[in-house]
Amino acid sequence: MKLLLFYAHTWWYKTASKSLPSVADCEREESIENTVVVFFHAEKDDEEKGKPLLDKIVKNIKWIAGKFSTKNVVIHSFNHLSASKASPEFSQQLIESTAARLREGGYTVLCTPFGYFNEFRIHVGGESLAKVFKEL
């Protein structure tokens, strides 16, 4: 599991095109301010890690959100952080489970549509903790 976490003053995205033909058609454009943006990459061996992996993902996201006193989170599937890739089904389920756990904790969570390339704009803070890479 690879996570690239940013604290962003603003995040905006718009769906561009499908990367997975099997996903439903979707046209979406959304933005959010004062947010943690998570570039999320599930690897093949993550499929065997179970609940402890989910716990670590949520813990890392909550940690950086706490550093910036925000309860806003964006989860963006970004399959460019490793050569190893989990199945699309596993990755999508893990994103959905992560979002659900965060929402249960009072977070506002925006997930970019899974299986889509997106146009996006991100205004990342200048603090050193505004850019964090985690390998779980």
- Predicted confidence at residue 53, as pLDDT, reads 95
- Predicted confidence at residue 79, as pLDDT, reads 82
- What's the token pair of residue 41? 């990459």
- What's the token pair of residue 13? 């995205």
* pLDDT per position as a tens digit, 40-59: 999 999 999 988 999 999 99
Q: Which residues pair with 117 in a beta bridge?
A: 17
**How many domains are contained in the chain?**
1
Evaluate if residue 82 carries a pLDDT over 90: no
* pLDDT per position as a tens digit, 29-39: 999 999 999 99
Helices and strands (H, E) in the chain, number of each type: 2, 6
Q: What number of other Cβ atoms are within 10 A of residue 66's Cβ? A: 11
Share the mean pLDDT of the chain: 94
Q: What is the pTM of this model?
A: 0.92
CATH number at residue 28: 3.50.80.10
pLDDT band at 71 (very low <50, low <70, confident <90, very high): very high
Query: Which of 33-56 are b and which e, b meaning 16 or more Cβ less than 10 Å from the residue's Cβ?
Result: ebbbbbbbbbbeebbebeeebbee
Which residues, in sequence order, are CB contacts of 124 under 8 Å at separation 6+? 6, 7, 8, 9, 37, 130, 131
Q: Which domain holds residue 10?
A: 2-135
Mean pLDDT for 100-105 is 98
